[in-house]
Structure 1
Amino acid sequence: MILLRGSRTRRRRLGVVTAAGGLLAALLTASPAAAIPDPGDSPAAQKEVSSSDRAEAREAIENGEIPGQDEVVHSDNIRHVANIPKDALSGTNSDLAFQGRYAFAGNYDGFRIFDISNPKAPETVAQVLCPGSQNDISVSGDLLFLSTDSSRSDSSCNSTTQPATEKSSWEGMKVFDISDKRNPRYVAAVETACGSHTHTLVPERKNVYVYVSSYSPNAAYPDCRPPHDGISVIKVPRKAPHKAAVVGFPVLFPGEGPDGGGNPGAPTNPGVSKTTGCHDITVLPSRDLAAGACMGDGILFSIKDPERPKVIDRVQDNVNFAFWHSATFNQKANKVVFTDELGGGGGATCNAEIGPNRGANGIYDIVGKGDRSKLVFRSYFKIPRHQADTENCVAHNGSLIPVRGRDLMVQAWYQGGVSVWDFTNSSKPREIAYFERGPLTTDRITTGGSWSAYYYNGYIYSNDIAKGFDVLKIDDRRTDPARWVHMRELNVQTQPDYFD
């Protein structure tokens, strides 16, 4: 049962579990390699809000309509079992990946490795200082991949920021050897056009293909000029990662004109992002499928030939979707959940003014088979709890909770917290559990909250931008069967077949 916002007396404050220490791994450098300033998902500067918004936030707290500042609230079926505050890496926390007993947490200053053998008391194994915007993270075997989406002076981990207009600037993919989790080694750097905002792995036995998503070209950027209507594909030999290289740039939005054939955005479609690349891609290797969230477009494509992905279908929502951000397949691969990051992650969009259909998830059924498959819209889902106008809140990163016969998902909503919801009925999705903190402040918008919330081997792990690494436990008959599904590795954007 979910706690109602009005029943303040039923809320419980939970203690915070901390883990001290951490090992700062030795850093190696790679040769210089090009550039674009960090677009989207960037930590926004604090923004003042009106006196009336400040008063409304404080009144809502006093009336029990929203949690108090930093107060932890949750539904009865979720427990907060651990929190590890940020340590040596003080930047914005970002994405998560998992392997065996380890969790890998991205941060704009580098990445952190946790030993989660005991999820109630995670221990820091290593912290690697390697600044670069996003630092989207994934792992495969002995390799760790890190995205850099800000212009740097070179590809080393001690680089400095540098204008995108400088030809010598670098951004792209970094590769680390993590065979020794306590001492990751930087082994390769690959420059990609317009950097790497996010990336997705398509693993094979001998190689790992990396789909690099980036966007926002500019004629003034030597290494990121329009049209930029596709993705970079990198091939990384597992036994020789230093030979990693770009092997193609498949065009996903062919068309006439300087920006290719994607959504033109304003003024044709006011309030919608112009498509100049993709933000994020999720692959389902067991079905040779991928779903792309590409700014103004959502796409479904085949990856039978990983170096030459082929678009099967493409959809737009020029009424309610501002920025197609990410995608998740259901287990049967007959649905895709797309998210809309209205406001770029820095806006307060979980309120009555914005409403339930914007800054939300869009649920699409996949109708038909093979190359004739079509994406058919069914409904929107947004958390049903309004947030203060000082809280950045919008749909963000989440994963399936693997239960046969049900479509269940856990998802981050920045300061809207962590939501568990059921979309088994595509037309009638509903929330079944939640966890959140009260606003960071009540007088300005300060970017915070859960960036990524993923289910892994019986627990939910959340990387909170400001508060650190959270571990949650859900106890609910609908999700309980997932406890028996254990993965050896999980990169959420490389979606596994949980029951294969």
Structure 2
Amino acid sequence: MVHSARQSRVVRTTLLTATAGLLAAGLTVPIQASAAPEPPPDPCEGAQTFSEADRLAGNCLPGNDVARLFQAPDTSGLLGVDEEAKSDNVRVLANIPKQGAFAEESAYNSDLAFQGRYAFAGNYNGFTVYDIAQPTRPKVVSQVVCPGAQGDVSVYGDLLVVSVDAARSDDSCSSEPDSATNADAWEGVRIFDISNVRKPEYVAAVATPCGSHTNTIAPGPAVKPGKSEGKGNGKGPKGKVQDLYVYVSSYSPNAAFPNCQPPHDLISVVKVPLKAPQDAAIVATPVLFPDGGNPGLGYSRQTSGCHDLTSYPEKDLMAGACMGDGIVLDISDREAPVVTEQVRDEENFSFWHSATFNNDATKIVFTDELGGGGAPVCNEETGDTKGANGIYDLGSDGQLELKSYYKIPRPQSNTENCVAHNGSLVPVAGKDIMVQAWYQGGWSMFDFTDSENPVEIAWHDRGPLSDERLVLGGAWSTYYYNGHIYSNEIQRGFDVFRVDDRRIAGAEKVRFDELNPQMQPSYPEKGKPGKR
């Protein structure tokens, strides 16, 4: 999500109207009756001060006024609280509600990663391991309580990497919330040994500048016995990968935060020796925007770091969504990524949030998380080009060209936070198809083989969590893995779906041993699908 969960970083007081109560520490919003003839007050009007880390607050910066987001039309005729709707080709297979230490409303479910028969689900209070060998009957294997906010997860071999984007008193799982003004406070990435998924072991922690909002991984080059490491994508013949690289994205520096100083135009590169993960450490902090990035032109946020990165190790590529900028990077040297292309959309993109390559890396779908994931922007008032996906062709010359926008066609109510969020490819040979979360807009599967004319294939939606207040909820991450769709719903828990449609025929035969949607694998473009 756009906001960092580091509420402890608030060093100024947020003074907003009741309509925009979501911007402050309170995590729900009272909604005014839509029948009033006068528009609600402008939440950005007046002498207000705030921390950019607060939810939505950064959108009140010049050029990012979101007052109109609270002028959504009356949508009382849409789905009621907890009602469900879906396309005819979707089957709802299972749901496991949040439980234990994750049951409370403020314990948000977040990202997902997969390995074999297991799904690893992040939460602001830690992570859960699910056994998905029987998709109709998923089971909780273990739950690790280790608070820290964000909970972005990546898995590789016996290791699980978890992002912490909130100042803590120390790096332990028993730490307490701290102030980012404290130089001794900790935030960054935690590393767990998951060789025994029933008893994950906490093995390492690495503090990173401004914490870790998200993390993206890529294996180092494969090394033959007796050979030294070099550049490459980790697929050397008969070689063995020795190191895992973790690319840490974070943003919103502040002069008052000793460990998060402006301008913060960088990412952190953490090297994790696979045989000695306890020795994980930062090996580089490359500056991606030596000229400062987007200064906040037009509709866009100012760039002060990256929100998310997606690696494609087999092609030595990475795409970055960095607040006011979208970028492409060469990662052939894992410790020295180089920006090769940079684009902006000052008219329609407020906050570049995430990126997904198509299978042959000739396209990138960038998402705009307008409103920080906490606003109702799936409505006629906001339109279909804001809070949407931007579909770009990536030419052989490395240049990006915007071809179209895609946004779900179903308007949502005033009490539903809805905007483009996390998704992944559906591995259909010769086609470009993606499934994607839209918070309380549910999820959508769409075909963007024709970059200029994306078409929806399937969808699922629930009504709001409340018809009286905006409760932060909905699908945070929705991914396709080995024949099924898995979704981590912020409040309602872990969902499993199946889509039966001839347009994705063959996708179920493509099997991955491991899937991190922010580290894309390739799949066969033609011929018989095989295991990867």
- SS of alignment partner, residue 425 of structure 1: coil
Please state how far the C-alpha of 1:175 moved relative to its aligned partner.
0.3
The C-alpha deviation readout for 1:370-422, integer Å capped at 9, x for no partner, is: xxx10111010000000011110000000000001110000000000010001
> Relative to structure 1, is the Cα distance of residues 271 and 192 closer, same or farther in structure 2, using a 3 angstrom cutoff?
same
Give 3-state SS (helix, strand or coil) of 1:171's partner.
strand
3-state DSSP of counterpart to 1:380: strand
1:329 alignment counterpart: 357
Instruction: Kindly indicate whether the alpha-carbon contact (under 8 Å) linking 2:74 and 2:413 is maintained by their aligned counterparts in 1.
Output: no
Task: Write the distance in 2 (CA, Å) between the matches of 1:351 and 1:435.
Answer: 17
Matched, 1:97 2:113: yes
Partner of 2:454: 429
CA RMSD of aligned residues (A): 2.1
Instruction: State the AA in 2 paired with 1:52.
Output: S
Is the aligned partner of 1:73 residue 2:89?
no
2:321 is the alignment partner of 1:293: yes
Residue 208 (1) aligns with residue 244 (2): yes
Distance 1:279 1:490 in 2: 20
User: Are the aligned partners of 1:109 and 1:132 in contact in 2 as well (CA < 8 Å)?
Assistant: yes
In the alignment, which residue of structure 1 is the partner of 2:385? 357
2:163 aligns to what SS in structure 1?
strand
Distance 1:384 1:41 in 2: 27
Superposed counterparts of 1:38-77, under 5 Å: 45-52=27-34, 60-61=75-76, 63=77, 66-77=78-89
Kept after mapping to 2: 8 A contact 1:44/1:346: no
Q: Is the aligned partner of 1:345 residue 2:373?
A: yes
Contact between 2:35 and 2:74, CA under 8 Å: does it hold in 1?
Answer: no
Aligned to 1:405: 430
Question: Structure 1 331/44 Cα, relative in aligned 2: closer, same or farther at 3 Å?
Answer: farther
Number of the residue aligned with 2:175: 159
Distance 1:54 1:247, change over 3 A: farther
Q: Which residue of 2 aligns with 1:82?
A: 94
Q: Given that residues 151 and 169 in structure 1 are in contact (C-alpha distance below 8 angstroms), is that contact kept between their aligned partners in structure 2? A: yes
- Aligned counterpart, 1:306: 334
Secondary structure of residue in 2 paired with 1:478: helix
1:45 Cα shift? 1.4
Question: How many Å separate the matches in 1 of 2:35 and 2:204?
Answer: 48
Structure 1 residue ranges, 4+ long, deviating more than 4 angstroms after superposition: 38-44, 53-61
Task: Judge conservation of contact 2:72–2:381 (CA < 8 Å) in 1.
Answer: no
Q: Deviations over 1:204-249 (max 9, x none)?
A: 3111000000000001001110120010000000110000000000
Call closer, same or farther: CA 1:197–1:87 in 2, change over 3 Å. same
1:37 shift after superposition: 3.6
- Give the secondary-structure state (helix, strand or coil) at the position aligned to 1:186: strand
Instruction: Verify the 8 A CA contact 1:280 1:292 in the aligned structure 2.
Output: yes
CA shift, 1:480, in A, is 2.1
SS at structure 1 position matched to 2:507: helix
Work out whether residues 54 and 442 of structure 1, in 8 Å CA contact, stay in contact via their aligned partners in 2.
no
Residue matched to 1:145: 161
Give the 3-state SS of the residue equivalent to 2:314 in structure 1: helix
- The 3 A distance-change label for structure 1 pair 363 and 416 is same
How far does the alpha carbon of each residue in 1:420-464 deviate from its partner, in whole angstroms, 9 at most, with x for none? 001000000111110010011112211100000000000000000
Query: In structure 1, how many angstroms separate the alpha carbons of the residues matched to 2:177 and 2:298?
Result: 33
Distance 1:92 1:295 in 2: 22
Pairing partner for 2:213 from 194, 197, 206: 197
Once residues 317 and 168 of structure 1 are traced to their aligned partners in structure 2, the CA distance between those partners, rounded to angstroms, is 38
What's the counterpart of residue 295 of structure 2? 264
CA distance in 2 between counterparts of 1:283 and 1:311 reads 13
SS at 1:188 equivalent: strand
SS at structure 2 position matched to 1:149? strand
TM-score (normalizing by structure 1)? 0.88
Aligned length: 453
1:253 equivalent to 2:294? Answer no
Percent identity between the two aligned chains: 57
- What's the counterpart of residue 274 of structure 2? 238
The one-letter code of the counterpart of 1:143 is: L
Task: Verify the 8 A CA contact 2:90 2:499 in the aligned structure 1.
Answer: yes
Over 3 Å counting, the alpha-carbon distance change for 1:378 and 1:57 in structure 2 is closer
Decide whether aligned partners of structure 1 residues 238 and 78 sit closer, same or farther in structure 2, where only a CA change above 3 A counts: same
Counterpart of 2:138 in structure 1 is: 122
The C-alpha deviation readout for 1:19-40, integer Å capped at 9, x for no partner, is xxxxxxxxxxxxxxx9984999
Aligned to 1:472: 497
Q: Is the contact between residue 294 and residue 301 of structure 2 (CA under 8 Å) also seen in structure 1?
A: yes
Q: Which moved more, 1:292-301 or 1:82-91?
A: 82-91
Structure 1 contact 197–214 (Cα < 8 Å) conserved: yes
TM-score (norm 2): 0.82
- Cα distance change of structure 1 residues 58 and 219 upon mapping to structure 2, 3 Å threshold: closer
Mapped contact 1:281–1:327 kept (Cα < 8 A): yes
Cα distance in 2 for residues equivalent to 1:289 and 1:252:
15
Distance 2:149 2:75 in 1: 35
Q: Distance in 1 between matches of 2:23 and 2:513?
A: 29
